[in-house]
Structure 1
């Protein structure tokens, strides 16, 4: 969906620590996706973080499309050039 733009990004998934206890919350994760564009001369950087997501172990499947949707909403306002 953002194939016309030069984007660099990284996903991440982490377990959620139990508050006041040792260990991690069962089934809860923090999913993140950070990206910047354009890769060669960044004009913007954005982090999407889904805290304590219960939907899936790899919630980045949600974070990435959300990042893409937001990026496409702001790309013109930020004057991010398309890939040559």
Structure 2
């Protein structure tokens, strides 16, 4: 029997906080500090690709920001190791 459960992306600091303030939804990051109880969701985010489940788009964004391939690989490796992904 095949395990069809997907690995959930971790929450982690991304939007400037020192605590986990980013959550992934459909491959893009949302700012947990913008949670609105009336709407039941976050109101800011959705533009930045998730480095865990949308790695290729995340890497492309870093390349567009003029990071070197070595810096990008080291950053992805660091995130995966730190968050056990």
Greater CA radius of gyration, 1 or 2? 1
Same fold (TM over 0.5): no
Task: Name the TM-score, length of structure 2 as normaliser.
Answer: 0.27
Task: Name the TM-score, length of structure 1 as normaliser.
Answer: 0.28
Q: Which has the larger share of strand?
A: 1
